[in-house]
Chain A
Amino acid sequence: MAATRTAPRPSAAVAPPAAPPPPVRARRGASRQLGRTLRDLATAAAVIAMALLAWEGYKALGQATGDLVPLTSLPLPVATDDAAMPHVWQVLAALAGPASTASDQTLLAYYLQQTSVTLREAAYGLALGAAVGVCLALLMRQLPWLGRASMPWLVVSQTIPLVALAPIVVVWIGGAGFPSWVAVTVISAYLAFFPVTLNTATGLLSADLTHVELMRSVAASPLQTLLLVRVPAAVPSFFTGLRLAATASVVGAVVGELSAGAGLGIGRAILTAAYYYSLAPANLYAAVLVASLAGVVFVQVIALAERLVLSKREH
């Protein structure tokens, strides 16, 4: 799960003492990383385009055969009428249309606004979860008995169904007088901390034994060894965990909103669209589409941060 850092070292022949240094490429790292991120986004867009084509193709097939698998009398798994599978352009038209009869805001603008609320909750949740996750990993590293004792409970914490737990958190935090977004943030953090804890703990144990022995040979304190060797060695694993946590935090925020009762956010908007599904089926798909794209962007931002931080270690 954790990233290993045993990349092959360049085995170039020794340079004579007066060899000119190779050109420094570190400064161009940031723009190169940005280019990579743009390319990743383009790939994601291509995947989405193919998914839309598959959607329309399946729908056209079903319409042509009367919802039957071609040349058989077997029904297709999902009906292809406009209520079950609206056309892509119907979904896009719904996004371009008004959010409600009494509003001059488009549905897209409305959903983006709701999504921004959700992403803010997810970002807070991710930050809180990552902080808790790193602290737990450090504690588990420094106190191995605590690590062994607490790991089963951490696993249990992640196997409790979130939909069962979320209402309890909402009741507790609502009861303490906090606004509903705080409860959503806590639920998001609850999902986010686990991958950070697991990966960071693995990373802290992955420190090079030569480095540890070197630190002992110069009489470094345990704290110095932790801060100068183990923590930097754990950074790549930490980011692996953070990327998983970013996905989890968005899921946590959306599910948290469903449980939070009245409030804002794309989770609430999806629920509302589901209530009115028979009246406007395209709206539900539109909301899910916006939420998914926002999730992709959110995780990509974390991935970009990871690349910027780790790019200095390469080459």
Chain B
Amino acid sequence: MTTPTTPTPTGTAIRLAGVSKTFSTSSGDVVALDDIDLDIPEGGFVSLLGPSGCGKSTLLRVIGDLVTPTTGTVEVAGTIAAEARRTRQYGMAFQAPGLMDWRTVRRNIELPLQVQGVGRAERRQRADEMLELVKLTQFADHRPRQLSGGMQQRVAIARALAMQPRVLLMDEPLGALDEMNREHLQRELLRIWRATGTTVVFVTHSIPEAVFLSTEVVVMSPRPGRIASRIPVDLPYPRTDETRLTDEFQAAERHVRERLHAVLEPTTAGL
């Protein structure tokens, strides 16, 4: 599975139809998501981009069946989201690495397999494969706190991939890193994605990050959270640091930026 293959979108991995989510708070109902329709192809890398409060994290959690939508349906890999979660189709990574400091790096990666009931020997073997994938083999027996923030995030990604999920859900996983680290991990993430062929849904508020990583950028608008526009990114893979300097990249970035600002303007005008 470490052989790089070009992802070939074959079918629909995730399908949302008429999804809305209303949270009841003491100061009244808050519409976090309003009438979302979205298809994400198998093997795609789709970024959810938008200002804070646009519901992108909620949308990610709806896809992962961590938040139940008020209306609408979520299908993942041809079944409803609840069933997909029960049959362990998801890997998740969050803004905080969320590693357990009472476990070694390897045992952190083994955790989802342990939950799944995978035997000790196979667990270890799979964890070692994942460590190799994120290039942290020599840190297997370290404690999370012995690692830098970027390395911890790589361990979290390895953990998310340990069960070989159909869908990888990532909530601003690189948000807390500095720029150097961030670009380094973006390249790593693309390499891992191409190696595994997993469908990725990636929440971010960084335009260059969304453009660099994605096959498609979904721009969301706030209050209520809606999909404002869907922008395919046609830059060829593999994308490298040179890609960031090309006119095509910068044109794509400008295009996404314009759409995002179009979303923001009504709000700013109102202020």
A208 touches B98 (CB 8 A): yes
Proximity string of chain B (111-122) to chain A, C-beta cutoff 8 Å, 1 when within and 0 when not: 110111000000
Which of B88, B91, B100 contacts A219 (CB under 8 A)?
B88
**Binary flags per residue of A287-315, CB closer than 8 Å to B gives 1, else 0:** 00000000000000000000000001111
Neighbouring A residues of B178 by C-beta, 8 Å: 13
Contact A22 B146 (CB under 8 A): yes
| Residues in A neighbouring B88, C-beta threshold 8 A | 218-219
- CB of A214 within 8 A of CB of B102, answer no
Knowing A224-B115, A228-B115, the reply to whether A210 touches B96 (Cβ < 8 A) is: yes
A137-174 Cβ-contact flags toward B at 8 Å (1 or 0): 00000000000000000000000000000000000000
Please tell me which stretch of B26-34, B41-49, B137-145, B242-250 contacts chain A, meaning at least 4 of its Cβ atoms lie within 8 angstroms of it: B137-145
Q: Mark B81-120, 1 if CB is under 8 A from A, else 0.
A: 0000111101110101010111000000001101110000
Nearest-Cβ distance from residue B61 to partner chain A, whole angstroms: 8
Residues of B within 8 A of A232 (CB): 100, 102
Q: Please measure, in the bound complex, the distance between the C-alpha atom of A229 and the C-alpha atom of B147, giving whole angstroms.
A: 21
B146 near A9: Cβ-Cβ < 8 Å: no
Give the contacting residue for B102; candidates A14, A22, A213, A312; CB below 8 A. Answer: A312
Report chain B residues within 8 Å CB of A313: 101-102, 143, 145
Known: A208-B98, A229-B100, A313-B102. A214 touches B149 (CB 8 A): no
Q: Are B114 and A228 within 8 A (Cβ)?
A: yes
A217/B116 in contact, CB under 8 A: no
Interface of A, helix, strand, loop or mixed by DSSP: loop
A20 on interface, CB distance cutoff 8 Å: yes
Bound form: Cα–Cα A124–B85 in Å: 46
Interface centre among A215, A216, A219, by most B CB within 10 Å?
A219
Question: Interface residue tally of chain B, by bracket?
Answer: 35 or more
Q: Are B145 and A220 in contact (CB under 8 A)?
A: no
**How many residues on A have C-beta within 8 angstroms of the other chain's C-beta atoms?**
35
Q: Are B90 and A217 in contact (CB under 8 A)?
A: yes
Residue B150 CB within 8 A of the other chain: yes
Partner of A312, one of B64, B143, B169: B143
Residue among B86, B94, B181 with max Cβ neighbours from chain A (10 Å): B94
Check if B151 is an interface residue, CB within 8 A of chain A: yes
Instruction: Please tell me if the beta carbons of B150 and A14 are within 8 angstroms of each other in the complex.
Output: yes
B164 at interface by CB-CB < 8 Å: no
B271 at interface by CB-CB < 8 Å: no
Given contacts A13-B180, A14-B151, A232-B100, contact A215 B115 (CB under 8 A): yes
Q: Is B148 an interface residue (CB 8 A)?
A: yes
Given contacts A14-B180, A17-B135, contact A211 B98 (CB under 8 A): yes
Chain B residues with CB under 8 A of A218: 88, 90, 92, 111-112, 115-116, 163
Residue B214 lies at the interface, judged by CB distance under 8 Å to chain A: no
A220 to chain B minimum Cβ distance, whole angstroms, is 5
The verdict on A315 contacting B90 (CB below 8 Å), with A14-B150, A211-B98, A216-B66 known, is no
Closest to A11 in B: B149
Is A64 interfacial (CB-CB < 8 Å)? no
CB-CB under 8 A from B115, the residues of chain A are 215, 218-220, 224, 228
Report chain B residues within 8 Å CB of A77. none
CB under 8 Å from chain B, chain A span 1-32: 5, 7, 9-15, 17, 20-22, 24, 26
Report the nearest B residue to A210, measured CB to CB.
Answer: B98
Asked if A117 CB lies within 8 Å of chain B CBs, one says no
With beta carbons under 8 angstroms apart, the residue of B98, B111, B159 that contacts A228 is B111
**Residue in B closest to A224 when the chains form the complex, CB atoms:** B115
Q: B64 contacts A217, CB within 8 Å?
A: yes
Residues of B within 8 A of A60 (CB): none
Measured CB to CB, the closest approach of chain B to A76, in angstroms, equals: 54
Report the 3 A-B pairs with minimum CB-CB distance, sorted nearest first.
Answer: A210-B98, A14-B150, A217-B92
Chain A residues at the B interface, C-beta cutoff of 8 Å:
5, 7, 9-15, 17, 20-22, 24, 26, 208, 210-211, 213-220, 224, 228-229, 232, 235, 312-315
19 other contacts beyond A14-B181, A21-B138, A219-B86, with CB at 8 A cut-off? A7-B145, A9-B145, A10-B146, A11-B148, A13-B180, A14-B150, A14-B180, A14-B184, A17-B135, A208-B98, A210-B96, A214-B92, A216-B66, A217-B85, A220-B115, A228-B114, A228-B115, A312-B102, A315-B146
A-B contact pairs, 25 of them (CB 8 A): A5-B101, A11-B149, A12-B148, A12-B149, A14-B148, A14-B149, A14-B151, A14-B180, A208-B96, A210-B98, A211-B100, A214-B94, A214-B111, A217-B64, A217-B66, A218-B90, A218-B111, A218-B163, A219-B85, A219-B86, A219-B88, A219-B115, A224-B115, A228-B115, A314-B145
